[in-house]
Structure 1
């Protein structure tokens, strides 16, 4: 049966309430009551839609990943080198225009969920899907750059792994250390990899 507008609105409200509760309490202290406190309906409504907190958090992770994946869309008309730099900046800092979530709050929420993935097969499955989507985007940009003669003839998967490892590491350090310059410094290095190593004219 198709979902009604009211049910979609309620589920969206539950996801946003879960997001706010996680930002306030963290994953370890997140409870159904804490989520209900951020919601304009009773805890019973949460249990009507999700039998357990685990069910809710699985849905919440999928919601976060869908929101995240919407941000990495790139304009294929843009030159591959510019597109790859835009991809790096979007992953590190969020898209230029975003009103749904604060980028660093979302990064922190995702980090907390990721810490549970070694113990939760569904979390691992969804995070693996997310990584594969992001990786495929990076690989496609590099492959296009090679075909156009913009990039050197390199291993696209290897480049994607290098870039994503640097980006993910920088995001983790940014939200866990008392420093606010890690992402910007990482962006500078990763952009230089694109311009000074990957691009043909750098040879």
Structure 2
């Protein structure tokens, strides 16, 4: 891969990432070729090969690009109360950011799912996806810990709670994009809000600490 020596090079790499995204959404991972990516690109296939020697190198960079966009979308407002922060994060993970993100949310979920299917066979994909999972998990753990410390939440194990939430969220997104059932994400959102309000939060409000 050639170095990004100036703004033009950076713009070219951004255009390659966008072309890869378009090609992946159009053709799926199994039929994704360098030519299919080049067809979505306004320059020659040789320009793609200049930056990325192989399709594998391009897709490793592309996964990092997708995960960066995903992580920007789930940034939380530290000024919100822990319960509201948690529910806002659930909504973002299920439906995308309140303001439209860089990509259509469900297209982004499909693109990530396409690459996730290859992770059992690709160590670099697995490494990046594991890091992403751990980043989201750590965010959830930190919110639950904050709620417990403030006395807003019951004295639960934050890591177990984060695992429960992530399992529900990831399952809902996979079912929504694979089954094309528009109600899955909303039903999961409603269920998770009930869990937070009726189980996680103290029924009588924050305790004095």
Q: TM-score of the superposition, structure 1-length normalised? A: 0.97
The answer to whether the 8 A contact 1:58-1:123 is kept is yes
CA distance in structure 2 between the aligned counterparts of 1:2 and 1:171, rounded to whole angstroms: 35
RMSD: 1.2
CA distance in structure 2 between the aligned counterparts of 1:189 and 1:99, rounded to whole angstroms: 25
Residue 153 of structure 2 aligns to a residue whose secondary structure is coil
The answer to whether the 8 A contact 1:196-1:202 is kept is no
The answer to whether the 8 A contact 1:75-1:83 is kept is yes
CA distance in structure 1 between the aligned counterparts of 2:49 and 2:89, rounded to whole angstroms: 39
Q: What's the counterpart of residue 168 of structure 2?
A: 166
Q: What's the counterpart of residue 41 of structure 1?
A: 43
CA distance in structure 2 between the aligned counterparts of 1:200 and 1:99, rounded to whole angstroms: 34
Shift >3 Å, 4+ stretches? none
CA-to-partner distance for each residue in 1:24-63, whole Å, 9 max, x for gaps? 0001000000000000000000000000000000000000
CA distance in structure 2 between the aligned counterparts of 1:44 and 1:55, rounded to whole angstroms: 15
The answer to whether the 8 A contact 1:195-1:202 is kept is no
1:110 Cα deviation after fit = 0.3
Q: TM-score of the superposition, structure 2-length normalised? A: 0.95
Q: What's the counterpart of residue 31 of structure 1?
A: 33
| 1:94 is the counterpart of 2:96 | yes
CA distance in structure 2 between the aligned counterparts of 1:135 and 1:186, rounded to whole angstroms: 18
Aligned with 1:131 (options 133, 136, 153): 133
Q: What's the counterpart of residue 121 of structure 1?
A: 123
Structure 2 unpaired stretches of 5+: none
